[in-house]
């Protein structure tokens, strides 16, 4: 499904562990990796080659780790802004997926805490797997990543608003079913703002429609081969609803669209996008509109 992926590393210590868990990418169908480090040289004009010379040995070490796990690997060191360079690399190689980290070393951490994540998601033309590599200090003081090998498809959370992009994300999830998904939790958060302005009974009608659509998607995913599918409904705002599921369930991956008719659009165009990428400890697979 995701045969060729662009693996965008910032070369922080956590990426050594992510690369060591390359089996996770193979579980998604990956056989080819474009190992990429975007060199941001906006204020370092003339030092591009020196920066590349510094980065190259580190990328080659990661290349060998990936090749030892049976993956075909090519290395790219574009100069520019990640939000645009990653799309260009993905287009050049005909990639199916971009993998990025939400935190990392100083330069990328500063960018992520500012506008980097939102910029990448806003401009992404390809499905993007966002891995929260917020680093944790172990007893030895080393940085470690919370990604666990062999668990990416164990339990997937699929929040949806049933919009066109929500359906597109669901179709990707159906295709992933053949890759060995353990279980899926479907989530619909209604959150009708100012519902008191609508006709009497509107809330109940909207809830009934949402539950019907949840049932339809439960049948679709079961038919696609997902062995266990839970349908969850929350009448409130999607962010608390998503966080509650993350706290109460052992979720290994979130799959969702990047825009939608309701909360999904807000989720990735406003401050909620930053909160989800910052608070979700598990990876998030973001599916952009087909028109991008």
We report the CATH number of the domain holding residue 169 as 3.40.50.620
Determine the pLDDT at residue 13: 79
pLDDT band at 277 (very low <50, low <70, confident <90, very high): low
In a domain? residue 34: yes
The string of pLDDT tens digits covering residues 128-146 is 998 876 544 444 444 455 5
Domain shared by 136 and 242, yes or no: no
Q: What percent of the chain has pLDDT over 70?
A: 73
d(CA 247, CA 268): 21
Domain shared by 171 and 121, yes or no: no
Domain shared by 112 and 167, yes or no: no
Determine the pLDDT at residue 224: 96
Determine the pLDDT at residue 162: 86
In a domain? residue 290: no
Domain shared by 139 and 228, yes or no: no
Domain span at residue 58 reads: 4-144
């Amino acid at each position: 499904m995701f045969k060729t992926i662009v693996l965008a590393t910032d070369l922080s210590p956590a990426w050594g562990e992510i690369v060591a868990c390359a089996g996770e990418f193979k579980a998604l169908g990956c056989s080819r990796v474009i190992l990429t480090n975007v060199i941001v040289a906006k204020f370092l004009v003339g030092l591009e080659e020196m920066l590349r010379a510094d980065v190259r040995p580190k990328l080659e070490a990661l290349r060998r780790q990936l090749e030892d796990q049976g993956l075909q690997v090519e290395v790219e060191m574009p100069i520019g802004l990640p939000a645009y360079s990653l799309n260009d690399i993905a287009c050049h190689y005909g990639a199916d997926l971009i993998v990025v980290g939400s935190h990392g070393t100083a330069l990328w951490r500063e960018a992520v805490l500012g506008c980097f994540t939102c910029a990448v998601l806003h401009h992404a033309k390809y499905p993007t797997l966002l891995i929260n590599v917020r680093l944790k200090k172990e007893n030895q003081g080393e940085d470690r990543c919370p990604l666990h090998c062999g668990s990416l498809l164990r339990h997937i959370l699929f929040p949806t608003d049933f919009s066109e992009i929500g359906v597109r994300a669901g179709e990707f999830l159906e295709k992933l079913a053949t890759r060995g998904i353990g279980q899926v939790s479907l989530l619909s958060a209604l959150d009708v703002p100012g519902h008191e302005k609508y006709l009497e009974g509107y809330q109940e009608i909207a809830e009934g429609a949402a539950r019907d659509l949840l049932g339809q998607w439960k049948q679709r995913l079961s038919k696609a081969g997902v062995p266990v599918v839970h349908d969850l409904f929350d009448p409130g705002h999607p962010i608390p609803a998503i966080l509650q599921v993350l706290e109460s369930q052992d979720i290994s991956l979130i799959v969702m669209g990047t825009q939608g008719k309701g909360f999904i659009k807000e989720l990735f165009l406003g401050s909620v996008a930053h909160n989800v990428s910052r608070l979700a400890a598990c990876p998030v697979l973001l599916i952009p509109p087909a028109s991008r």
